[in-house]
Amino acid sequence: MRRLILFFVCVAICSPACADEWLFNQNFNALNAGDTGLFADGSRAVDSGEGSAEVYDAFAIGNQRTALRLTGKASPFSGTTANYFIGPQSVTGQLDSWSANWDQMAFSSNGSTGNHMAFNFGDLTNTTSSYVSSDGTMQVSGKGDNVLSVVFDSLDDEIQVWYDGSQVGSSIGTPNIETSNSSQLFTDVNVSWTRSGGLNVIYGGSTLVSALSITGYDPGGDDIMAFSADNGDTNRQSTYLDNINLFTSVPEPTSAVMFSALMLGALLTNRRSR
């Protein structure tokens, strides 16, 4: 009997299922054009009333798809903001790694360079209002602490990395973020972070941010992911997002935790045999 109990303790501790993981997938195909607000999967699209955060399908030939549009719907364009909130996750504890992959296109209908779109991950406290700061990151009024933002800045044509209000990195080379051709194909984007390897950003197959270490960044299982976008002046940039795939995981149990659990199992079996 003791051997049987110890076996099940070992299986419970050493099984790969011990790694707590969270997955999110959204391709917007099950939604209708114009859909906004709270979606069935718990994600939420919110705009400032002048901008746009809605499902869109009226693309030019070459982009026959359904996607999410952020900003650029109406005039005035100056100061329009839009957000797409995802989470919180269903994992417990501090994360060991996370990865975000999506298709993206930033389109300017009047040929004027737009502003920003950012992927944010951290302690976001407000998911019902549209807010974004001038650098494309989340405003302090809408977040807590420990928020990482990867900003796609079409004005300067670069990718910037911000952590809690300070820029901590930028891209190597120019990613060519914005287009004036609405039939141009979307660009594949991957942003990933691990405790051991730092932050990596791959844009259109090119690694533009590599192994960036971010001092103090400590994401947790109750953090929220969000895409945010803004426009300024007379810019008419719309950012379209599609095929969003997100993944997070917490660490496997350490050897010390395994040993403690095994000792507890042994103690329980000894007590049972008395």
Query: Any idea which residue has 């820029």 for tokens?
Result: 167
What whole-number percentage of the chain has pLDDT above 70?
71
Is it the case that residue 41 has pLDDT exceeding 90? yes
Is it the case that residue 245 has pLDDT exceeding 50? yes
Report the predicted TM-score, pTM, of the whole model to 2 decimal places.
Answer: 0.81
Q: What is the mean pLDDT of residues 85-111?
A: 86
Q: How many CA atoms lie within 13 A of 69 on its CB side?
A: 25
- Of 57, 63, 28, give the one whose Cα is nearest residue 227: 28
Residue-averaged pLDDT of the chain:
78
Distance, CA of 100 to CA of 122 (rounded, Å): 13
Separation in Å, CA 242 to CA 103, 170, 210: 5, 24, 24
pLDDT recorded at residue 3: 42
> Which tens digits make up the pLDDT trace of 191-203?
999 999 999 999 9
Q: Which fold has domain 20-251?
A: Jelly Rolls (2.60.120)
Is it the case that residue 145 has pLDDT exceeding 80? no
Q: What is the mean pLDDT of residues 18-47?
A: 90
148 neighbors 120 (Cβ within 8 angstroms):
yes
* Cα–Cα–Cα angle for 117, 178, 158, rounded to 5 degrees: 65
Q: What is the mean pLDDT of residues 179-197?
A: 84
pLDDT recorded at residue 185: 78
pLDDT bracket for residue 256 (50, 70, 90) = very low
Distance, CA of 175 to CA of 152 (rounded, Å): 9
pLDDT recorded at residue 121: 92
